[in-house]
Amino acid sequence: MLTIFHQKNIKKCKSLPNFKGDIFKSSNPQILKLNLHYHRFGSGPRILLAIHGFADRGELFFKLRDVLEENFTVIAVDLPFHGLTSWEAHEFNPEQLRDEFLDIFEKEGIYGSFSIMGHSMGGRVVLAMSDFFEDRIDSYIMLAPAGFQGTQSDSRIFFPKFIRRLLKGLTAWPAFIISIFKGGKFLGIINKGTYRFLEQQIAIPERRHRLFDCWISLYDFPIRLKAFKERVIRTKAKLCFFYGTKDFITPAKYGRHFIADMPNAKIFMVEDGHYFLKEPLVEALKEAKEFY
């Protein structure tokens, strides 16, 4: 059973209690004066900020509650253009997300260190957030994260922001957009798994706009892997990667290469594909508990 508590029902409380078991509290951004909608569950002493991937929502992390809720109090956000978040602008940037997370922390009375988890595109967001919160993050839990394989579609040189915006203007002609993606696959700019995913997103108008709005926004999330590695080593934070054995979108080989010379980093495999926020990942997280 999944119970949703909206903030308007408990707004008279000075401090929000921890809810256990099947209780899953969801914020009301209108009451909290926040732009990001978020969910909170678990009663553990550690804080975990969980960031979902493209076309997902924060509520999906509730599927991991059996392994997370005892050790963590989880704050699972809905990113702009996703879930119950109402985001009026067509773009977002790292500074805006940083400020939103700080506001959430203040509302929830979170002032110390925390762990951070990112799945797929959420991993790309984690990389950016490490710039702002490096002294507060004690562990990184990366679930098939984007940003480590260096695809050409992420390139700020090949696809500057004005080109991305120009391509967004073509959303009225989905067949033409698909032909561009096919060309990108042929040239090796887009891998086969990513192409399949993009093809599905282009099929529906709302998905098309979300896809391009996120892609344009991610231009402002530069990938600085060397700096991230140095930061993790310097702060002695733990770093765990989880990859699906059948993941063709973000293959595990990139994570293995990244952690090759890192003392506090581990990689774990899950018998699944890219979208693995379900039972196989729960078991892998249980086995890896001591490492994060």
Mean pLDDT over each residue of the chain, to the nearest integer: 86
Output the pLDDT for position 12.
28
Output the pLDDT for position 22.
35
pLDDT tens profile 105-152? 999 999 999 999 999 999 999 999 999 999 999 999 999 999 998 777
User: Domains along the chain?
Assistant: 3-150+223-291 (3.40.50.1820), 152-218 (no CATH)
Q: Cβ neighbours of residue 107 under 8 Å, at least 6 residues apart?
A: 27, 32, 34
pLDDT tens profile 214-253? 999 999 998 999 999 999 999 999 999 999 999 988 999 9
Rounded to two decimals, the pTM is: 0.85
pLDDT tens profile 57-98? 999 999 999 999 999 999 999 999 999 999 999 999 999 999
Q: For residue 9, name the pLDDT band (cuts at 50, 70, 90).
A: very low
